[in-house]
Amino acid sequence: MARCPRRVATPIHFRFSSLFFPQWSILPPGSPRGCHLRKLNLRLSQPSLTSSYSSTALSRNEDTRTRHYEYNWIDGTESLEKYKPGGYHPITIGDMLQGRYHIVDKLGFGVPITHCNGKPLPPNIPAKAVLPLYLGKDAEEFSLSDAQIRLSDFGETFNPDLEPRLGKDCHTPLAARPPDAWFEIQTSLSYSADIWSLATAIWEIIGMKAIFSSEYTSVDEVICQQIDVLGSLPLEWFESWGKRDLYFDDDGVPKDGRYVWSSIDGAFEEGVQKYRRKFGMGEFDGEETAAFLDLMRRMLTFRPEERPTAREVLQSRLMVEWVLPDFERSSQMG
């Protein structure tokens, strides 16, 4: 994109090159695509593209040399509040600025972007950009028979009985990673690690919010969330946690001033029930809620050896009395 000069002394045709737009650039309505000013002043008596922002409408008694333009905000474009000398503005060849300055060329127009240091791109840069898939239908319009499920392990699948993998080598996303992968880094992961991750996935499927959030956060903040939601860590884990003093005192009480996450019961109300009421999806009744939270507590037990097996999950009250019957009905409808 071209950059426009701060001051222009004469109304001539410009060949734009290494120029810039100042903050609150003056542009005629509809000229440069993407512009989204609300209001700005243009004083025609000054041969300048500089102006000041104004949110006051022009009255009959005001200087008639002052004109006001309004633009609608356009999502996805740069914010003009952040413009400053050296910034950029979308300019198209053929645009006419102020009815006087005709854009006839731009520096670098039609030239592909070149890596600045001339070196090959690192291996983590994707060779192709892939657009998100648009199915053309809402999720409600699909049945189970329409689904063609494909499983991909990204090279991470392993059998703990045949291929031991240590906790320090666990690459599960932070929000779904079991705590034993952090506190027992030299111990081999077991099937119970998947039980923990499965619980976080089930929670996110039935609710609008994940039980643990890893957005813009660190391992220590996720551990803090887990304690807030589920209760105290095993003592040896808590004492070995180097960052515990940032979140808890010596008695395990949350430090003053930090955000404290809701317990698992509160998280269920805030992340599941509230949204089901809001969107008219029907709440979980008392019995199903109790069965769901009981299963979640068991699957999210800190000590891996105390978590249920996959068979025990399938034999739980929630699965037997609610999930499997609903699955059978859905299969018949599909």
For the segment 109-148, what is each residue's pLDDT rounded down to a tens digit?
566 665 567 777 788 888 888 887 777 778 778 777 877 8
Q: Any idea where the domains of the chain sit in the sequence?
A: 1-109, 146-333
The separation between CA 144 and the C-alpha centre of its own chain, rounded to angstroms, equals 28
Higher pLDDT, 314 or 132: 314
Residues 6+ apart with CB under 8 A from 38: 55, 70, 71, 73
Q: Which of 56-70, 95-109, 123-137, 168-182 has the lowest mean pLDDT?
A: 56-70
pLDDT at position 69 is: 47
The separation between CA 75 and the C-alpha centre of its own chain, rounded to angstroms, equals 17
31: exposed, middle or buried (C-beta count within 10 Å: 0-12, 13-18, 19+)?
A: middle
pLDDT at position 159 is: 87
Computed over its alpha carbons, how large is the radius of gyration of the chain? 30
The residue-averaged pLDDT of 35-54 equals: 36
Question: Among candidates 272, 262, 232, which has minimal Cα distance to 248?
Answer: 232
pLDDT at 43 over 90: no
pLDDT at position 87 is: 59
| pTM to 2 decimal places | 0.58
pLDDT at 34 over 60: no
pLDDT at position 74 is: 65
204: exposed, middle or buried (C-beta count within 10 Å: 0-12, 13-18, 19+)?
A: middle
Q: Half-sphere exposure (CA, 13 Å, Cβ side) for 85?
A: 6
pLDDT in tens, 294-308: 999 999 999 999 999
Q: What spatial distance separates the first Cα and last Cα of the chain, rounded to whole Å?
A: 52
Residues 6+ apart with CB under 8 A from 74: 34, 35, 36
Burial code (b: 16+ CB inside 10 Å, e: under 16) for 111-125 equals: eeeeeeeeeeeeeee
Residues 93 and 95: their CA atoms lie apart, in Å, by: 6
pLDDT grade, residue 323 (50/70/90)? Answer: very high
Please tell me the class of the 146-333 domain. Answer: mainly alpha
Q: Phi, psi at residue 256, to the nearest 5°?
A: -65, 140
pLDDT at position 6 is: 38
The residue-averaged pLDDT of 71-82 equals: 63
The residue-averaged pLDDT of 258-274 equals: 94
pLDDT at position 312 is: 98
The separation between CA 106 and the C-alpha centre of its own chain, rounded to angstroms, equals 35
pLDDT in tens, 213-258: 877 789 999 999 999 999 999 999 999 999 999 999 988 999 999 9
Q: What percent of the chain has pLDDT over 90?
A: 41
Q: Half-sphere exposure (CA, 13 Å, Cβ side) for 48?
A: 13
pLDDT at 67 over 80: no
Tokens describing residue 254: 């949350």
pLDDT at 71 over 60: no
- The string of DSSP letters for 84-101 reads -TTB-----TT-EETTTE
Tokens describing residue 202: 């089930």
pLDDT at position 176 is: 94
Strand partners for 66: 43
Question: Among candidates 65, 68, 72, 80, which has minimal Cα distance to 24?
Answer: 80
pLDDT at position 314 is: 96
